[in-house]
Structure 1
Amino acid sequence: MSVTWQQPVLDRTPSLVVTPAIVGHRGASGHRPEHTLAAYRAAIRMGVDDIEIDLVSTQDGVLVARHEPELSRTTDVAEHLDLADRRVTKTIDGRAVTGWFAEDFMLAEIKMLTARERLPVTRPESAAHDGCDGIATLTEILAMVHAESIRRRRTVGVMIELKHAAYFDSIGLPLDVPLLAALRRHDLDGPMARISLMAFEPAILQRLALRTRLPIIQLLEVGDSHAELCTPEGLAWIDEYADGIGPHKNLVLPRDQSAAIGEPSSLVRDAHRLWLTVHVWTVRAENRYLPSNLRHGDDPDAPGDMAGEVRALLDVGADGVITDHPDRAVSTARELVA
């Protein structure tokens, strides 16, 4: 059902930054298979301020860009018959997962794989690029961002998320050690570097806060595990080690029983009182990911009014919007400052 929504007239809440950032989530992952150099380049070409990358470790301690250690959803690993015996079941963060895992492969083996679209039915145009790109390492991404920044005469930032850090600690592959080493090699470990470090797990962020001057961002998910962190008391505790928060968009613009957004929560205001920046995730163009009052038509995979959601988030003072469709978000943000 198509719903016509009139965006409420609100006094716009100022962000902590002069111009709120548009961040390419896993690159331009609404257009190309996620976490590929092609997806990151596309996002930069679309005008993002930063790209967001997720990191996991290979068996030989090399950081590669994947959303989770299990590889079969976003690579062609299952098609490699010689790797069939690597399929196992593991418990990660209390959940049983079956598949092929990055930490069971040396980098040279990972480099034999190609990327594929995670959501081929929803994003067939992206899926048309399956097999075109390999799996990128952190070093390759940093080199590409440096080259693109020179080419476009503007500095592109990188927001780095460490995935399942406690799990990788438990198997002797801590993510922070190779991360900080790579950043030092690229001279990106100083306060002027356009690098931010993120995670859902406070422990890894607290560890990083003692070892680097780079901005630290505590990611926040909807649910009981992070509910206390979203309170004023929880934010005050985050402020002891972090410089910002990265909340799920529903924590900023809660949905009602009809899945529509209405009045914002106090989360942005409460964070800003502590001078914590707020980068909200993840905004996507398809109806299935939008609140009901911003959907167009009945097709869940058709594009809805993503611009309306971006405007609503910026109106409540978000300092950054992390999105799969940076082209749409960039154009909306530019309209607001024009």
Structure 2
Amino acid sequence: MRAIIIGHRGAAGHRPEHTAGSYELAVAMGADWIEPDLVPTKDHVLVVRHENDISSTTDVSRRPEFAGRRTTKMIDGLEVTGWFTEDFTLAELKTLRAVERLPELRRRATVYDGVHEVMTFQEVLDLAERLSLRHGREVGVFPETKHPTYFRSIGLPLEEPLIETVADSRQERIVIQSFEPSSLRRVAKELRVPLWQALGTAGRPYDLEVAGDPATYADMMRPEGLARIAEYAQWIGPDKSSVIPLGPDGASAAPTTLVRDAHAAGLKIGVYTFRDENRFLPAELRRGPLPWDHGDAPAEYRAHLRLGVDAFVTDYPDTAAVAMT
């Protein structure tokens, strides 16, 4: 069966992420699902940005009327300085425009800086419905709750408006993801949709840290941890290095048993994040001398396909589609 192609923040390798243009291009290139990361506004509307710090993904730093909003906060135990969605109303955010997050690697995408506004989650659902009609196939939506423990602590919880928006939506293919198990468990109480437990490469989910639970991401990827995830979720989403690690020389090492173990636990596995640039590829697949040169990315997809991966989260849906032909 063909693996699912998930447009990571749309087609983020080609357009500024989390914009209508990025999502539209992702579907045109073959993405089955599009991914909106969810953060709240000051007036508690869910908008799509990878982080609540919008310093590098919008033109806010060049807007003198918002200079006084720059501040420093503790987000999941880390000190972050910037401009944050929770300090802006939706109307204020709508005056900003998206910019390319990685201009040093993706200079061609910078020509789209300033074109698109910040989208709400509802607008992404509406767009997915239109794209489904346009392309004659159902486009899935793959929202992620970002920093849910932090937002609940400041009175802007993500799950309640997410549940309400999804319940009122006509969108039929929705898979909800989070790095925090408690966020997924809250959603599971109200919605019958597939859930995806995202998994980091080090440390543990922030909600477990706050609760004093010692379980790490490594523990969660062991067979007994996978069995616990299967009690509330249908998917796991590890970093690709958890499936095919890199050796000391930066080249691909022997695969782990994670794909096999996940399937044995009754879980599907989708792997993140696939990108074409040399900077993100194993050493043996890099081509050219520069970090922004594109390497043999299709070979990386095919290596994971041979292991039985069920989905790819990718900045380049077109490359994923090529790899599966």
In the superposition, the TM-score normalised over structure 2's length comes to 0.95
Q: Which runs of 4+ in 1 moved over 3 A?
A: none
Q: Distance in 2 between the 1:39 and 1:224 partners?
A: 31
- CA shift, 1:187, in A, is 3.0
Of the candidates 196, 199, 216, which is equivalent to residue 217 of structure 1? 196
Alignment match, 1:163:
146
> What is the match of residue 212 of structure 2?
none
Partner of 1:83: 66
Residue equivalent to 1:6: none
How much does 1:180 deviate?
Answer: 1.1
Give the AA of the match of 1:297: G
Identity fraction in percent: 48
The structural deviation recorded for 1:272 is 0.2
Alignment match of 1:179 (pick from 145, 162, 182): 162
Matched, 1:254 2:237: no
1:127 aligns to what SS in structure 2?
A: helix
2:313 paired residue number:
322
- Structure 1 gap ranges (5+): 1-17
- 1:223, 1:148 → 2: CA distance? 37
Residue 113 of structure 2 is aligned to residue 134 of structure 1: no
- What pairs up with 1:52-91 in 2 under 5 angstroms? 52-91=35-74
1:198 paired to 2:181: no
Q: Secondary structure at the match of 1:56?
A: strand
- 2:105 counterpart of 1:122: yes
What does 1:229-244 correspond to in 2, within 5 Å?
229-244=220-235
- The normalised TM-score by structure 1 is 0.91
Aligned equivalent of 1:145, options 128, 133, 136: 128
The amino acid across from 1:157 in the alignment is: G
SS of 1:128's equivalent in the other structure is helix
- In structure 2, what residue type is equivalent to 1:65? V
Stretches of structure 2 lacking an aligned partner (at least 5 in a row): 205-216
Distance in 1 of aligned mates of 2:58 and 2:120: 15
**What CA distance in whole angstroms lies between the structure 1 residues aligned with 2:2 and 2:275?**
21
Q: Where does residue 9 of structure 1 map in the other structure? A: none
Which of 31, 40, 54 aligns to 1:48? It is 31
Paired with 2:2 and 2:302, the residues of 1 have a C-alpha distance of 13
1:110 maps to 2:93: yes
Residue-pair matches, total: 313
Displacement of 1:224 after TM fit?
Answer: 3.2
The Cα offsets for residues 42-101 of structure 1, whole Å up to 9 and x where unpaired, read as 001101111111110001111111001011110001111111111110000000111110
- For 2:16, the equivalent position in structure 1 comes to 33
User: C-alpha separation between the residues in 2 aligned to 1:184 and 1:211?
Assistant: 9
Comparing both chains, which one has the higher relative contact order based on Cα–Cα distances under 8 Å and sequence gaps of 6 or more? 1
Which residue of the partner structure matches residue 214 of structure 2?
none
Displacement after TM superposition at 1:25 (Å): 0.4
Please report how far the alpha carbon of residue 239 of structure 1 lies from its aligned counterpart in structure 2 after TM superposition. Answer: 0.9
Query: Could you tell me whether the CA contact under 8 Å between 2:11 and 2:22 is conserved in 1?
Result: yes
Quote the Cα distance in structure 1 between the aligned partners of 2:238 and 2:110.
29
